[in-house]
Amino acid sequence: MEKRQIKRALISVYHKDKLDLIVKKLHEEGVSFLSTGGTKSFIESLGYPCEAVEDLTSYPSILGGRVKTLHPKVFGGILARRELEEDKAQLIKYEIPQIDLVIVDLYPFEETVAVGADEANVIEKIDIGGISLIRAAAKNYKDVVILASKAQYAPFYELIEQNGAETTLEERRWFAKEAFAVSSHYDSAIFNFFDGDHASAFRSTADNSKALRYGENPHQQGFFFGKFDEMFEQLHGKEISYNNLLDIDAAVNLINDFEDITFAILKHNNACGLASRPVLKDAWLAALAGDPVSAFGGVLITNAVVDKETAEEINKLFFEVIIAPDYDLDALEVLTQKKNRIILVLEDNKVPARQFRSALNGVLVQERDTYIETEDDLKIVTDKEPTEEEVEDMLFANKIVKHSKSNAIVLAKNKQLIASGVGETSRVDALNHAIEKAQSFDFELEGAVMASDAFFPFPDCVKIAGDVGITAVIQPGGSVKDDESIAVCNEKGMSMVTTGIRHFKH
């Protein structure tokens, strides 16, 4: 087990919450303390003796506090290999005390950047001594324990409560691993600050590893890295799966584009039902009517508080997940009747500005598609102008097609998704699929609008749409055959607007 007794601890921290419990227990175990500045004062305020680093090194803190612990008498005591006679001899020769435990954290660099501090203040929050202590102690984990952030306080306190001031090699290695996670994340944040928008290299880190039941399929291992609990509170239900997380991500990005009371149903990252209504129950019923078959086993999301009346309607359907900003208590009594049903409160809908995914032997990175077209973006290109209702429906449909897998066509009417064709290899197939689905659920296509995620390479889609009664079309434009599509619209008495913005989604 290669146990090591902790006899001396170097403690120099920014965050002191819960540190008193650790210091008290270590003192009871006969551990002596070495510290600097505010941490030394904190330890002494608890009634325990503490040696100043300055007394050990015979050097004061200099350069406005930039240099405190960077000294051979500190780092020698941490890095000395206890099993090497040569190292032990040098410790004796240079009067360097062994340090068996290092508790240190880092200046709040990311927090300082996040509040918009000027560059001078940001630079001062780049930790030098702390990061050096972390790396030194973690490197010598065979002999030294390292606590690199307040996140390690609780597991360490539990350990010394059970075993006293003694650690095994396995325990020290675990703390070293956690320490390198802290230091690598910190350095990545600093690099990204200096790199800005240059994208000269890719650096991204995420903590809070969570093992999932499996990946997309049972034979694949899956993990989630991130702070899910900062975005959601899970009120009820089973453990969230890999596929659930993909659908939840798609659902949040979709609902973020809607301001009216809206309900959406997603399957495999695509909306199969969506409607906006003044009353939530009506929005749900209209969304479900869009495709009651695909809704089975789906992920539901709304931007309004779920009431009991709506919950009773929702409860008639089998679904995996529901997401809302909140729920009335009597609504929860209804929704929690099924034990596995995942009920989430969306507490923070902010998502990163950049997206990335693995590709080949590298990483693809892009800005998130956050553009939402407004009426000002619409360019009328046909003889007939769209009505006010058609404009509203086209903007509504355009939000949905933006979040649908390409090639995608969305048909909408009265702020209701009546059908979509998604993930097709041709735009004609996407449209035919949407029409077939709409007709199978007895939707009247006369007066409906059509949205396309990209331009029409040929006028065939516009002709098909006109033949079934669709009266208005929204698309990016930009095809060399736009004139032919416009001519078909004019011939059939349809209106068309272009946006100049394409919304491909893979």
- Residues serving a catalytic function are 139, 268
Gap between the Cα atoms of 456 and 460, Å rounded: 8
Provide the β-strand partners of residue 451.
410, 474
Q: What are the CA-CA distances from residue 220 to residues 112, 244, 384 (Å)? A: 40, 15, 54
> How many helices and strands, by DSSP H and E, does the chain display?
19, 23
Helical residues (DSSP H) of 280-358, grouped into ranges: 280-290, 308-314, 329-335
Cβ 9 vs Cβ 127: under 8 Å: no
Cβ 365 vs Cβ 355: under 8 Å: yes
The answer for residues whose C-beta is within 8 angstroms of residue 12's C-beta and 6 or more apart is 35, 36, 37, 39, 53, 68, 69, 103, 104, 129, 130, 133
Strand 4-5 with 166-167, pairing: antiparallel
Transcribe 365-387 into DSSP letters. Answer: EEE-------GGG-EE-SSSPPP
The answer for residues whose C-beta is within 8 angstroms of residue 300's C-beta and 6 or more apart is 251, 263, 264, 265, 266, 314, 319, 321, 322, 323
Backbone angles phi, psi at 140, to 5 degrees: -100, 40
Left (φ > 0), alpha (ψ -120 to 50) or beta: where does 374 sit? beta
Gap between the Cα atoms of 274 and 164, Å rounded: 59
Backbone angles phi, psi at 40, to 5 degrees: -60, -45
Gap between the Cα atoms of 379 and 477, Å rounded: 10
Provide the β-strand partners of residue 167.
4
- Residue 398, token pair as written in the block: 């355009």
Gap between the Cα atoms of 216 and 269, Å rounded: 13
Q: What are the CA-CA distances from residue 221 to residues 210, 214, 250, 342, 404 (Å)? A: 12, 5, 22, 22, 27
Q: What are the CA-CA distances from residue 106 to residues 79, 174, 420, 452 (Å)? A: 20, 19, 51, 50
- DSSP state at residue 4: E
The answer for residues whose C-beta is within 8 angstroms of residue 465's C-beta and 6 or more apart is 431, 450, 473, 494
- Residue 425, token pair as written in the block: 């290899």
